[in-house]
Amino acid sequence: MYRFLLTRQWVVLTVVAVVLIPVMVRLGFWQLHRHQHKVALNEVIAESLAADPVPVESLTAPGATVKRADLYRRVTARGRFDTAHEEVVRRRTNADDRVGYHVLTPFVLDSGKVLLVNRGWVPAGVSQTAFPDVPAPASGEITITGRLMPDETTEKSGIKDLKGLPDRQVMLINSAQEAERLGRQVLGGYIQLTSPAPEGGSPQLLPEPEHDDIGPHLAYAIQWWLFAAGVPVGWVILVRREARERAEAAAREKTQKAEPASV
């Protein structure tokens, strides 16, 4: 009754089913890992935002990599802004999804080292090559507070670090590149400025990261596992239906052959 399983069509179908099951199971675990990563990241962000600010040099140093546990940690620094070496980061959006720039201003610490400060978002001008209109920061020696962030890289962000950009424009915020450009010791990573707030509201300070949404990854994982469980069930249903149809066809053929003899 089940010899049809040895036909080319059913061999191919069975092989496809056998391959799909582990693939779907693996995809389910991939989504589960993404869910777990998101939950863990939300916990890190929540803890960092709730913690009291600490001096920036207690968490990073020239050439250092910002630790995952310190992501979005509030830090303080005292020094002065170096607007002469200010740059803007291209293709950044604000809360309204308007495309503009992030303002990247070196902040010279009392120790002489440099901290990169993302002062916020400004809109793009008519020309994509001209330096945009950027309000100046507070002058003189001040104390600033911001959220600590790791260096941006092509591998992590997916953004290509393009060459030949207009003067004072970059695609990524990277302390190693800025150290080479400035010829000074630059602390690893950078901060998103939170205070003092700019006069007139420009540049727009970057909002706190969302850390309540866990995303749809757990639901996707369950879906993939249900699909994986459904493959053998579907295969059995198809096999039984095929066997039943073949048996019914054989019975009809037998009946048709027997009718003339009975007459």
According to DSSP, the residues that pair with 88 across neighbouring strands are 103, 169
CA distance 251 to 263: 19
pLDDT band at 157 (very low <50, low <70, confident <90, very high): low
Max distance between CA atoms of the chain, in angstroms, equals 115
Burial 156-168 (b: 16+ CB within 10 A, else e): eeeeeeeeeeeee
Q: What is the pLDDT of residues 53-88, one digit of tens each?
A: 999 999 999 999 999 999 999 999 999 999 999 999
The single residue listed with the structure tokens 């939170």 is 194
CA distance 144 to 55: 10
pLDDT at 227 over 90: yes
DSSP notation for 20-60:
HHHHHHHHHHHHHHHHHHHHHHHHHHHHHHHSPPEEGGGT-
Mean pLDDT of the chain: 90
Q: Are 159 and 184 in contact (CB under 8 A)?
A: no
Q: What is the pLDDT of residues 204-217, one digit of tens each?
A: 999 988 767 777 88
Q: What is the pLDDT of residues 85-142, one digit of tens each?
A: 999 999 999 988 899 999 999 999 999 999 999 999 999 877 878 899 999 999 999 9
pTM over 0.85: no
Share of the chain above pLDDT 90, in %: 63
Euclidean distance between the first and final Cα of the chain, in Å? 30
Phi-psi region of 90 (alpha: psi -120 to 50; beta: other; left: phi over 0): beta
